[in-house]
Structure formats: structure tokens, C-alpha cells
Amino acid sequence: MSDTILVTGGAGFIGSNFILQRMEADSCAIVNLDKLTYAGNLRNLESVASHPRYEFVQGDIGDSRLIRQLFEKYRPTAVVHFAAESHVDRSIRGPADFIATNIDGTFALLEETRAYWGSLDERQKARFRLLHVSTDEVYGSLGPGDPPFAENTQYAPNSPYAASKAASDHLVRAYHHTYGLPALTTNCSNNYGRFQFPEKLIPLMILNAKEGKPLPVYGDGKNVRDWLYVEDHCTAIATVLQKGRPGETYNIGGWNEKPNIEIVQMICDLVDEMAPGRASSRRELITFVKDRPGHDRRYAMDARKIERELGWRPKETFESGIRKTVHWYLEHEDWVRDVTSGSYRQWIATHYSV
């Protein structure tokens, strides 16, 4: 029996990179269930849309009946759960969608997964996996000299987004502990790369720099994130799916801590290099703006467990990854035009108005 993976949220940034990578690297079939919120974009998956091993279904992870039908029809050997509301600033302005999808939606998905898994024979049961994709933000914020987050760091989520992801992690843990569901959780640091919606720091700065618009840096710009190239995250997920021990959590990170201001300056320099023609450096566009409420100061991941136990380490350096990413956004004007239409413009206008 060959593998069939039910991917949730596969039209988003990381999910679409994961699907494209797996379709090329594996012989698995993929069913992509995505609601197509503002963050979902089927253009990302145009190259596999009519592939015989790929199927797209538009729908909500909270729709139990639909999930049940998908399990019955496709008999997946694994679920990789990306679907979520993912933007911290949006969670601050309106947490309700985050509770609905990240908590209630994950709960509905877990319930249907448990029922389906319970109906399998022993061999299929032993083979089945649910991989829940989560974030480093569940661990809260670090001081400058604190050690990075490890798998046993106490949860201390600070934003509604982080709290909703923490809740979903706890549910996944409980479904393993109580019902024996063979679930795994990955907690990853900040991703960057192609297809990221330009509400997030890196693509927002690339596009604004290109267009000569102000580059809004929150607070003093010294908040630190640990950046990982999205393709490395996708190989980490595939590795955990293949070799991880059910019931375990694995931290994934880039060993690449950088303050935001440094990221923005690097982007300015790369855009200056790749899209010359401006009289002055893009760095002049940097504008310090009001801080994000409750803004976590520093994230850093201790990713030694996944390396020690499963042999995964990031391959891309930040210097090469950010160069590829800037190049991709500058080269893909059609994609950018598509995603920066109506509702995006409204978000930018509301969020960055003083």
C-alpha cells in the first residue's frame, strides 16, 4: 500500500512548499484540504494541480462531516496539519478566527482522526501518523542571555496566536496520551522563502523596499527571531514524519538569530543590488513605528534533539536563503499582484495607519 498524506492548509506558505517538495521527492499521494482564507493561494500549486497523485479539496478543518468523508474516500496513511490562522498582528486585532481554526478546528480534526485511526486494522494503525505543525512562540519570550527553547521548556504563550497554538499542542499531546493516537508535534522558528504572504516581516519589507515605500520596523528593531529557510522546515517535517517517535515533540530552528533591524538592512541592500535605479539607499526608507502590543523580545530554538535523534540539520545559510527569497519576490510580479489585491490593501491601510 503506498502512502497517502492528508495535508491541511496546503495552499498556505509552508504547506504549499511542503507539497511541492514532497511531490518531487516522494511517490506519495497528497490530498490538500484548505479553506482558502486570505492566506491560501492555489497559484502556489499550479505546477502539480493536475498531477494524478495530487487532489485539492476546499473546506474547513472544523467541518467534521467533510473530514470524515475525506478519510473514508482517501484512506490516508498520515495527516500533516498546517492549517491555522498564523499572523500575530491579526490575532491581536481579532482573536476569534484564531480560536475557531487553531483550537476548535484542530479539535474537530483530532476527533475525526481518532475515529478513523480506531477503525484501522493493527498493521495500518501502527503505520499511521498525525503530524501537528506548531511554533516556537508557545514558549514565550527569552532574555538576551537565556538558553534557547528546548522541548521541555515550559509553555508561556504571550499573544492570542501563540495561546491558540499552545492549546492545539496540548490537545494533540492529550490525544496521544489518552487514546494512543500516533501523533507528533514539531515546534519551529520563523520561516522565510517563496510564497510567504506579504503581511509578514520579510516579504513585506522586500515589496515595500522595491516600491520605495516606508519600511515599518516595530519598536527599537532589536527583537530577535531565529530564521529558517522554508525548504529546510519542509525536510524537517518529512524527517519527523518518517522517523519521529509518536508522542514526541521536536524543536526545529535555523541556528540563526538576528535582530529585525539587521534583517531589514540586509533586505534593503539586496534590493538595491538586484533592482538598482534609486538615487539613494533603501535603508533610508526604514521607519520606526509603534511597537506590537506584548511584542516577544527574543526567540531561539535548541534544535539538537532532531539532529541527534533523526539526523536533520538545516542546509541553507541565511545569506544564500535571503538572497534567493529577495530574488524570487522581485521576479514574481504576477504572484505579488494577485495576493496584494483588495483585502490585503485594506489590512495594510488599517494596520499601519497611526
Contact partner at residue 275 from ligand NAD, ligand DAU, none, CB < 5 to 8 Å by partner kind? none
CB atoms within 10 A of CB 124: 13
- Looking at residues 122 to 181 of the shown chain, list those that interact with ligand NAD (rule: CB under 6 A): 133-135, 165
Give residue number: closest CB to ligand NAD. Answer: 12
- Looking at residues 21 to 50 of the shown chain, list those that interact with ligand NAD (rule: CB under 6 A): 34-37, 39-40
Q: Does 13 bind ligand NAD (CB under 6 A)?
A: yes
Listed ranges 59-67, 173-181, 273-281, 345-353: which one lies at the site for ligand NAD (CB under 6 A): 59-67
Residue 88 to residue 69: CA distance in whole angstroms:
32
Q: Does 209 bind ligand DAU (CB under 6 A)?
A: no
Backbone phi and psi for residue 187, each to the nearest 5 degrees, phi listed first:
-115, 115
Q: Does 267 bind ligand NAD (CB under 6 A)?
A: no
Choice between 234 and 285, CB closer to ligand NAD:
234
CB of 224 to ligand DAU, least distance (A): 8
Listed ranges 13-21, 117-125, 146-154, 177-185: which one lies at the site for ligand NAD (CB under 6 A): 13-21
Residue 322 to residue 209: CA distance in whole angstroms:
14
> How is the chain split among helix, strand and coil, in percent rounded to 5?
50, 15, 35
Choose which of 86, 168, 186, 325 interacts with ligand DAU (CB under 6 A): 86
Cell of 251: 524543536
Q: What is the DSSP letter of 114?
A: H
Are the C-beta atoms of 36 and 250 separated by less than 8 Å?
Answer: no
Has 161 been annotated as catalytic?
A: yes
Residue 249 to residue 150: CA distance in whole angstroms:
10
Q: How many residues does the chain have?
A: 354
Who contacts 330 (Cβ-Cβ below 8 Å, separation ≥6)?
206, 210, 271, 274, 275
Choice between 117 and 250, CB closer to ligand DAU:
250
Who contacts 103 (Cβ-Cβ below 8 Å, separation ≥6)?
164, 167, 168, 171
SS3 at position 107:
helix
Contact partner at residue 44 from ligand DAU, ligand NAD, none, CB < 5 to 8 Å by partner kind? none
Cα of 75 vs its chain's centroid, Å: 25
Cα of 349 vs its chain's centroid, Å: 24
Q: Does 233 bind ligand DAU (CB under 6 A)?
A: no
Q: Does 129 bind ligand DAU (CB under 6 A)?
A: no
Q: Does 83 bind ligand NAD (CB under 6 A)?
A: yes
Q: Does 86 bind ligand NAD (CB under 6 A)?
A: yes
- Looking at residues 165 to 194 of the shown chain, list those that interact with ligand DAU (rule: CB under 6 A): 189-190
Q: Does 285 bind ligand NAD (CB under 6 A)?
A: no
Residue 279 to residue 284: CA distance in whole angstroms:
11
Give burial (CB, 10 Å; 0-12/13-18/19+) of 311: exposed
Q: Does 201 bind ligand DAU (CB under 6 A)?
A: yes
Choice between 76 and 216, CB closer to ligand DAU:
216
Q: Does 155 bind ligand DAU (CB under 6 A)?
A: no
Q: Out of 139, 161, 175, 229, which one is annotated catalytic?
A: 161
Give burial (CB, 10 Å; 0-12/13-18/19+) of 195: buried
Choose which of 204, 300, 322, 339 interacts with ligand DAU (CB under 6 A): 204
Q: Does 135 bind ligand DAU (CB under 6 A)?
A: yes
Binding positions for ligand DAU, rule: CB under 6 A: 86-88, 135-137, 189-190, 200-201, 204, 216-218, 223, 225, 260, 292, 299
Active site residues: 136-137, 161
* Binding residues for ligand NAD (CB under 6 A): 8-9, 11-15, 34-37, 39-40, 60-62, 82-86, 101, 105, 133-135, 165, 188, 190-191, 197
